[in-house]
Structure 1
Amino acid sequence: MWLNKKQLNDSAIREYRQTLKRVTPNYLVIDGLFDQASLDKVVDILQHSQHWKTQKHTYAALYVDDKQWQDASDQQRFVKRDVWQRSAINSADLNVQHLESTNIALDFLNYLRSNEFMAILSEIFTVRLTDENVADPLINTNYFRLSNSDFVSEHADDSPGREVCMLLYLNKDWSNSAGGELVFSGKHNRPIYISPLYNRCVLFDPASEGSEHWVKSLNKEFTHQFRYNVTSWYWSQ
């Protein structure tokens, strides 16, 4: 249901492995990895405002509250964005039809942590990925959105045992003039810019050289637009 198998045949996986070895940072951009009709249904669910809550990180501490955020300097703040709330689907004010349709958004998140999908990533990156020793796998895969007042400043995603990071963009008819590009620091001060186009998947090794990254802000004229993506982190034993 979820995968476009044409992007995962043996020759494609060989090419992905070769690409990882020759680029800095070690990253892949795969367009059309997932079934578009299924993603369309997910995107419809993401438009419901009751599913979202603002999330804030500083370099000193993650998941800070409003007081901690206000006390932090601008230089300490590195993430302000909305995170999708799984718990919102149990809200009493949602009708049965909406609850049933929301299940597809949850199903997709669950698929991204399935043995099947992690086996595919393991094959591409030639490392065994598993949730066996991950305390709370669910917090490692979720939907996020950014408005033009939000930001993701430069940071690294490397952490002991974290082998692969995945970003999947869910932005239909995205305009390049909107901004919102993912930027890797790259090698020799040559940043790499990747537009957040619909059904574009970026996979990278967070420990590789030049994998520090940030998101270009949305341009000010796009005041009523959000940039949507899934972020997922994967671990070895």
Structure 2
Amino acid sequence: MWLNQQHLTDAAIHAYRKTLRRSCPQHVVIDNLFNQGLLEQVLSALQQDQHWQTQQHSYSKLYVDNASWQKTPDKQRFVQRDLWQRPAPGAPDTAANIALQFLQYLRGAEFLALLSRLFKVGLTDINVAKPEINTNYFRLSASDFVNQHADDSPGREVCMLLYLNQDWQQNNGGELVFMGKNDKPITITPQYNRCVLFNPASPGAEHWVKALTTESTTQYRYNVTSWYWSE
């Protein structure tokens, strides 16, 4: 239902594995991996402002409150963005519920099996205390940022980024940039239904997001971020 089946054939999996082996960092970009119609329903839910809350991290501390943030030097500021707030259990908001269903799918057996197959590693949430906090939606405005960082952590095998930006133009900014190797960074545009899968422990996997260049205060860069562990 959520996945487009042409990406699940043996030939497709073989091609993606080949790309992973040859890339630095180990990553693969898959366009149109997910059902377009369902993602449009998800995006409609994400465009409701009441579901968002600002999130701020420094390099020394996650989830910094506003008072501490004002005292944090610019060079120590790591992330400023909005985090999607999940609806309460049993909430009648069906638009938000489709967005929640997608997050649940991304941690479900079918998608974990696909990632395990691609990366040749057994992925599981068996030792993850709160799986739900490792898969969520984020949005960036022109005043927000995600600065250079690494996502590697003991047992973390795969990171996924999925972009939900319709009609995104190259001059809007917001590109994902991997450090890469030999001073040759890799830049990826956050186009709609573009999925980036990567090994966070592979060389060159440090990354950041270029600032948005749009002057519109109502335009956001939307994405899903999800992290996966082995046992």
User: Do both share a fold (TM > 0.5)?
Assistant: yes
Is there any run of 5+ residues in structure 1 with no aligned partner, and where?
Answer: none
SS at match of 2:74: coil
Q: Compute the TM-score of the two structures, normalised by the length of structure 2.
A: 0.97
2:199 equivalent to 1:205: yes
**Alignment-derived partner of residue 61 in structure 2:** 61
Whether 1:76 aligns to 2:76 is: yes
Alignment correspondent of 2:224: 230
Aligned partner letter, 1:24: C
Counterpart residue number, 1:171: 165
Give the whole-Å Cα distance in 2 for the aligned partners of 1:192 and 1:4.
26
Q: Paired residues, what number?
A: 231
* Paired amino acid for 1:68: S
2:149 pairs with 1:155: yes
> Which residue identity is paired with 1:226?
Y
Equivalent residue for 1:144, pick from 135, 138, 143 = 138
Deviations 1:30-56 (A, max 9, x none): 000000000000000001000000000
Pairing 1:196–2:202 present: no
- Could you list the runs of 5+ residues in structure 2 that have no partner in the other structure? none
Instruction: State the partner residue of 2:94.
Output: 100
User: C-alpha displacement at 1:224, in angstroms?
Assistant: 2.3
Corresponding residue of 1:52: 52
Amino acid in the other structure paired with 2:7:
Q
Query: Any conservation in 2 of the 1:51–1:88 contact (CA below 8 Å)?
Result: no
Distance 1:224 1:179 in 2: 15
Counterpart mapping for 1:3-18 below 5 A: 3-18=3-18
Once the two structures are TM-superposed, the CA of residue 66 in structure 1 deviates from its matched residue by 1.1
How far off its partner does 1:101 sit? 2.5
Q: Report if the CA contact (8 A) 1:169-1:230 is conserved.
A: yes
CA distance, structure 2, for counterparts of residue 101 and residue 75 of structure 1? 38
TM-score when scaled to structure 1?
A: 0.95
Task: Give 1:2 shift.
Answer: 0.4
Query: How far apart are the structure 1 equivalents of 2:133 and 2:182?
Result: 34
Instruction: Output aligned runs, 1:101-140, within 5 Å.
Output: 101-140=95-134
- The separation in 2 between residues aligned to 1:148 and 1:178, in whole angstroms, is 9
Provide the alpha-carbon RMSD of the alignment. 1.2
Matched AA of 1:65: D
The answer to whether the 8 A contact 1:33-1:199 is kept is yes
